Structure 1
Amino acid sequence: MDTNIMRHFFIFNSVNIILMSLSFNFLESYLPTLIKRAFLYGKFSVKTPHTIAAKLEVPKRWFRHFYIFCAPLMTITLCLLSYKNLYNVNIPEIVFTLLDTLLGTSRKPLISAEDAFLAVVILNIHCWKRFYESCFINVYSNQKIHVFLYFIGFAHYIGIILCILGESGGFVKDSHAILFLHKVTTVKLVCAFICLWASYEQLKTNFILARLRKNSHGDIVSLEHKIPFDGLFKYIAGPLQLCEAIVYLMLSMILCQASTFHYITLWVISNQVVCAYLSDQWYRKTFTNYPKERKIIIPYIW
């Protein structure tokens, strides 16, 4: 089967999120409640009751399941990648079959051992940090998300691993790869540093949001949404979304020779921009004292 299912999956998600956001922007009053509740969640969720939609929703706090699942899986991937590149062990045939099925039989070893290793190390740090945030920092409200979005989260992280391994040397039949860390270029080390900086800024942003729902003793006293003013919130409505977009843009720079991973970056940026836009619109409609000079996702620009 020579169809790159992963590529089509992330292209579909990107196009879908863009079309849905345009529909909500221009045709929201004409859209059925079932569609609106499937797309909107959190602070901009639709309050209109719908029997079918309610049965297809799960608690938003289940977001933490993504990271409980993906953080250990990313570490297993790092061990597998290191073991293959350092000791040149044989990969089980089932792995080749899986990668051929999901990325196509004509896939090529486009990603060097060094780039794959660097990207997966960064993703390990990022995913374990997200695990810490979602399990120990974030204060979730009682909002719900559509079960489709819930499963998309799992597919996203599985797709990351498949797209990196599927185009890495040693994971394509008749290809070989040896890890030489001194071959990692200065440019890619800078990209890695920017990745980690963005992930750290995301951590600081989550602390800011959590403090809005806690008292001085750290006890949760409210689940209401309030206007944040600290950190990157001084400049934009979507610091979390900006940081996530930067992480994946830098990963795309590190994996610049890849073919499929860039479609994950496209999907992430599309999703994060839409989320930041919706968040900005919600704040402006909800709070009369919301800072008018605050931009959406790019400081001082948009």
Structure 2
Amino acid sequence: MGRTTSQLHHQRKKWQPMTKMAITDTIFDLLLEWDLSRLMFIVYLVIISLSGTLVNFFREMVPLPHFFLQAFKYGKMAHSTHVNTLISRLEVPKKYSIHVSGTSAALGLCLLAAQIYRRLYENLYINVFSFGHINVFHYIVGHTHYLGAAALLLSQAPGFDGTDSHISFSALDFWHVIGTIICIYGFTVQNKSLRLLAALRKHKDKNMKEKHVIPQGGMFEVVSCPHMFAEVVVYVGILIVLRTHMGWGIVTLWVMSNQIQVAVMNHRWYQKTFKDYPRSRRAIFPFLL
């Protein structure tokens, strides 16, 4: 027997809130299943990759709003024309800026901690910052990156994923050693490169904070941004240590995408600023890009 119009309308109203609740529960379940740290890095990866590709490779073909350029570019590459007041207020000083084994997780966490504390030391005692500013969103990304990376690494580690934790040095294998060596290489290259950059702004104990010159020495002879190359190397090294940790693969892709985009911007700034800039230098990867 057919239903009347009023009955159908009443049934529709009855199911409407239930449908909304079901959708909300589904979204919440997906967030828990993927975990927020993994979702955060996917969002970062997509946004930075798309934005960087537009700025670095399609800017001549696709007119980009000035506020977008100002929000994305920072430091010596900062967008200086048609400054947006709102975006300017959202800037801060640049100087503020599958289950794995317990052994793999512990070693990976130690390498990540070494990277974090070494970068903190370099920011405090080695780097000479200019008076430039960065957008507050870049600042937030920088801080949430390390928190999210540590949380994501531990999310698939024994003791945190509901399985028993067991750490043994006898469980160290070939890939643990290779990954650690790659990380140490990255630490060394990045530290040396940052020291060379800092030395360019110091002369007779006086900081030359606003002067830019062509970097020389070390890996600067082959790439414009060896410190960014080294950042990628460190995360690839940790990925080799963790191997089956799929979440860390997302972190590594995010770091690689971010460093490539920033390195390309730096490289083009050097080429535009210095007419005698070495043509053989690449942006970040020797002989490739």
The alignment's TM-score, normalised by the length of structure 1, stands at 0.81
Instruction: Tell me the residue number matched to 1:100.
Output: none
1:116-135 → structure 2 map (5 Å cutoff) = 116-135=105-124
| Partner Cα distance (2:248, 2:285) in 1 | 24
Instruction: Tell me the residue number matched to 1:103.
Output: none
Instruction: Tell me the residue number matched to 1:187.
Output: 175
State yes or no: 1:47 paired with 2:46.
no
Give the % identical residues: 32
Instruction: Tell me the residue number matched to 2:104.
Output: 115
State yes or no: 1:37 paired with 2:70.
yes
For residues 72-118 of structure 1, what are the alpha-carbon distances to aligned partners after superposition, in whole Å with 9 as ceiling and x for unaligned?
xxxxxxxxxxxxxxxxxxxxxxxxxxxxxxxxxxxx6x011100111
Instruction: Tell me the residue number matched to 2:17.
Output: none
Which of the pair has the greater relative contact order for Cα pairs under 8 Å at 6+ separation?
A: 1
Larger radius of gyration: 2
Specify the SS of the correspondent of 1:58.
strand
Instruction: List gaps (5 residues or longer) in structure 2.
Output: 1-28
Q: Which one-letter code corresponds to 1:27 in the other structure?
A: R
For residues 33-88 of structure 1, what are the alpha-carbon distances to aligned partners after superposition, in whole Å with 9 as ceiling and x for unaligned?
2111110001111112221111111111111xxxxxxxxxxxxxxxxxxxxxxxxx
Let me know the Cα RMSD of the aligned residues: 1.4
Q: Which one-letter code corresponds to 1:34 in the other structure?
A: F
Are 2:158 and 2:165, in contact at CA under 8 Å, matched by a contact in 1? yes
Q: Which one-letter code corresponds to 1:37 in the other structure?
A: Q
1:236-247 → structure 2 map (5 Å cutoff) = 236-247=223-234
| Partner Cα distance (2:37, 2:216) in 1 | 39
Shift of 1:16: 1.4
Are 1:58 and 1:146, in contact at CA under 8 Å, matched by a contact in 2? yes
Specify the SS of the correspondent of 2:194.
helix
Instruction: Tell me the residue number matched to 1:95.
Output: none
| Partner Cα distance (1:7, 1:127) in 2 | 19
Pick closer, same or farther for the CA change 1:282–1:221 going to 2, 3 Å: closer
State yes or no: 1:207 paired with 2:195.
yes
Instruction: Tell me the residue number matched to 1:93.
Output: none
Q: Which one-letter code corresponds to 1:124 in the other structure?
A: A
Are 1:111 and 1:164, in contact at CA under 8 Å, matched by a contact in 2? no
1:264-275 → structure 2 map (5 Å cutoff) = 264-275=251-262
Specify the SS of the correspondent of 1:159.
helix
Instruction: Tell me the residue number matched to 2:58.
Output: 26
Are 1:139 and 1:223, in contact at CA under 8 Å, matched by a contact in 2? no
| Partner Cα distance (1:164, 1:222) in 2 | 37
Q: Which one-letter code corresponds to 1:167 in the other structure?
A: Q
Shift of 1:181: 1.0
| Partner Cα distance (2:161, 2:230) in 1 | 32
State yes or no: 1:62 paired with 2:96.
yes
1:1-302 → structure 2 map (5 Å cutoff) = 1-3=29-31, 4=34, 5-24=36-55, 25-27=57-59, 30-48=63-81, 49-63=83-97, 110-173=99-162, 175-215=163-203, 217-302=204-289
Number of residue-to-residue matches in the alignment: 255
| Partner Cα distance (1:259, 1:13) in 2 | 17
Are 2:176 and 2:241, in contact at CA under 8 Å, matched by a contact in 1? yes
Shift of 1:275: 1.0
Shift of 1:219: 2.7
